[in-house]
Amino acid sequence: MKIMKLTRGFISAIICTIAGVSSAQNPVIQTHYSPDPAPMVYKGKVYVYTGDDIPGFDFYYMTKWWVFSSADMVNWTDHGSPIALESFSWARDRAWASQCIERNGKFYWYICVQTIENNMAVGVAVADKPEGPFKDALGKPLITNGSWSNIDPTVFIDDDGQAYLYWGNGSLYYAKLNKDMVSYSGEIVTVPQSVESFGGIRRPRNPNTSPSAQEGPPNKDTYVEGPWFYKRNGKYYQMFAGMTKGTECLSYSISDNATGPWKYQGKIMTDQPTNSFTNHGGIIDFKNKSYLFYHTGLLPGGGSYGRATAIEEFTYHADGTIPPITMTKAGVQPVGTLNPYQRKEAETIAWSEKCKIGENKKVGVFITDIRTGGYIKLRAVDFGEKAPESFSASIAAGLDGGILEVHIDSLGGTNLATINIPRTGGWEAWKTITEKTIAQVNGIHDLYFAFKGQNITAGRTLFNFDYWMFTKQDN
């Protein structure tokens, strides 16, 4: 048996060095597209609610939404798609941006869709858990008035209990939600826009008039869509998709009141190679750090109609303003560790290649479409002071020939275990397979599940993968 016993501090230093040089984290979801990320902090985890771009089309054709969660900001668990267009009897198409919020133990997910009356409307789904299952709370839209501007809802509950819903494309609107979170009081308000409040205002194009001759001061920016409303240290923030050089940027305004007046602050993320015309962001604080969620079109086959969630850490200035944020491939660093001696879902991933997400009623979400040369990476896995004795994985395979190898620190790193996968009776006939570990390891490491095949066609699916767990050595 190969022995590998290093101090945890020394191992951590090695991991940080490797991560700083070669690790990639953005986009944080690689198994499918995940545009318009809306983060929510709840009980020691960050939940992210996203859309689902359909690849291969030249428009924002989206039919469902997804949920992910993480306790460490780098290993994200895919909870599947708990709502879709068919969840709303009045919806027809365009499952666009959304946001979820908790109140009194219930979770309210505000979505927008094209209705069967052929306009855009805001609806709300409700659940008892952040990952669902969700159901339509009203059986009808919450916001509908025939306008195509009813998109991109953002929601916030103030310290006094008053909840606000903002939304809008081109124009920005808000309504005061009632305590039931599925109705509102008063009129829908259109928020005034100016150079002072949101950096500019949309002006009708006149080919016979130069920009300098138009009435009013020149625009610094323009509110387009995608508002994100939150409060920090007594100040209200309205982040939004602005416009720069013919493509969207992320900009923001600040107010002393939840309903304004707003004061434009500038651009947060602009002139970045996102490979996407749109950008849509969310900002949270988690474990004493601040994070910007946004999307890019940088996954293979991606672009403006194939976008994926990315994250950057940032630090507010002393006066509460936000610095310019540059997109990175490395993304963020772990703010916690993963315990390998507890059951872990295979769909908990820091990085992956050549595999996808499957979902059924029997086991829920699992990893499928696993191909030779693919892998799953996990970051900051803490094996503790004692080495593991064995490794177990829940596998389903209609054919044999698949191999699951477990490595630390890199795909070519120390091999902890190898499972030669037999037929289990079908692609959804699950079997837990256990193998003794062949190397000792302790401390904190990155963990890799490498997918290989033995005497099989390289392109075919190898097996399905539901969960895994290590077992500690006995005293």
Same domain flag for 234 and 359: no
Same domain flag for 374 and 414: yes
Three-state DSSP at 446 gives strand
Q: What is the mean pLDDT of residues 297-316?
A: 97
Q: Which residues contact 260 (CB under 8 A, 6 or more apart)?
A: 191, 192, 197
Q: What is the mean pLDDT of residues 206-223?
A: 69
- Measure the CA–CA gap between 415 and 16, rounded to whole angstroms: 21
**327 lies in a domain?**
no
Same domain flag for 64 and 194: yes
Which 8-state DSSP code applies to residue 439? B
pLDDT exceeds 70 at position 69: yes
Among 1-10, 109-118, 217-226, 403-412, the minimum mean pLDDT is found in 1-10
Considering 265, 292, 314, which residue would you say is the last residue of a domain? 314
Same domain flag for 174 and 283: yes
Same domain flag for 373 and 268: no
Same domain flag for 375 and 299: no
CATH of the domain at 424: 2.60.120.260
**226 lies in a domain?**
yes
**297 lies in a domain?**
yes
Question: What whole-number percentage of the chain has pLDDT above 90?
Answer: 87
What's the whole-number average pLDDT of the chain? 93
Task: Please give the pLDDT value at position 49.
Answer: 99
- Measure the CA–CA gap between 196 and 193, rounded to whole angstroms: 8
Tell me which residue of 118, 283, 113, 104 sits closest to 182, measured CA to CA: 104
Same domain flag for 140 and 196: yes
Tell me which residue of 179, 88, 94, 95 sits closest to 136, measured CA to CA: 88
Q: What is the mean pLDDT of residues 15-39?
A: 77
Same domain flag for 268 and 370: no
- Measure the CA–CA gap between 226 and 402, rounded to whole angstroms: 44
Task: Please give the pLDDT value at position 20.
Answer: 36
Task: Please give the pLDDT value at position 458.
Answer: 73
Same domain flag for 290 and 168: yes
pLDDT exceeds 70 at position 326: yes
pLDDT exceeds 90 at position 434: yes
pLDDT exceeds 50 at position 3: no
**158 lies in a domain?**
yes
Please tell me the total count of domains within the chain: 2
Q: Which residues contact 425 (CB under 8 A, 6 or more apart)?
A: 431
**10 lies in a domain?**
no
Q: Record the pTM.
A: 0.93
Q: What burial class does residue 302 get, using C-beta atoms within 10 Å of its C-beta: 0-12 exposed, 13-18 middle, 19+ buried?
A: buried
Task: Please give the pLDDT value at position 215.
Answer: 62
Task: Please give the pLDDT value at position 22.
Answer: 47
Q: Is the dihedral of CA 51, 54, 60, 64 positive or negative?
A: negative
Full domain range(s) for residue 80: 26-203+216-314
Q: Rounded to 5 degrees, what are φ and ψ at 338?
A: -110, 135
Same domain flag for 391 and 302: no
pLDDT band at 10 (very low <50, low <70, confident <90, very high): very low
Task: Please give the pLDDT value at position 213.
Answer: 47
CATH of the domain at 48: 2.115.10.20
Q: What burial class does residue 1 get, using C-beta atoms within 10 Å of its C-beta: 0-12 exposed, 13-18 middle, 19+ buried?
A: exposed
Task: Please give the pLDDT value at position 4.
Answer: 37
pLDDT exceeds 50 at position 12: no
Measure CA 297 to chain center.
Answer: 14
**321 lies in a domain?**
no
**455 lies in a domain?**
yes
pLDDT exceeds 90 at position 259: yes
Q: What is the mean pLDDT of residues 387-402?
A: 96
Q: How far is CA 342 from CA 74, 214, 252, 391, 468, in A?
A: 18, 64, 42, 11, 9
Three-state DSSP at 22 gives helix
pLDDT exceeds 60 at position 212: no
Q: What burial class does residue 95 get, using C-beta atoms within 10 Å of its C-beta: 0-12 exposed, 13-18 middle, 19+ buried?
A: buried
Among 10-14, 65-69, 333-337, 342-346, the minimum mean pLDDT is found in 10-14
Q: What is the mean pLDDT of residues 452-469?
A: 91
Task: Please give the pLDDT value at position 265.
Answer: 98
pLDDT exceeds 90 at position 206: no
DSSP 37-96: -EEEEETTEEEEEE--BPTT-SS--B-EEEEEEESSSSSEEE----EEGGGSTTEEE---
pLDDT exceeds 60 at position 5: no
Same domain flag for 222 and 370: no
**395 lies in a domain?**
yes
pLDDT exceeds 70 at position 295: yes
Same domain flag for 145 and 267: yes
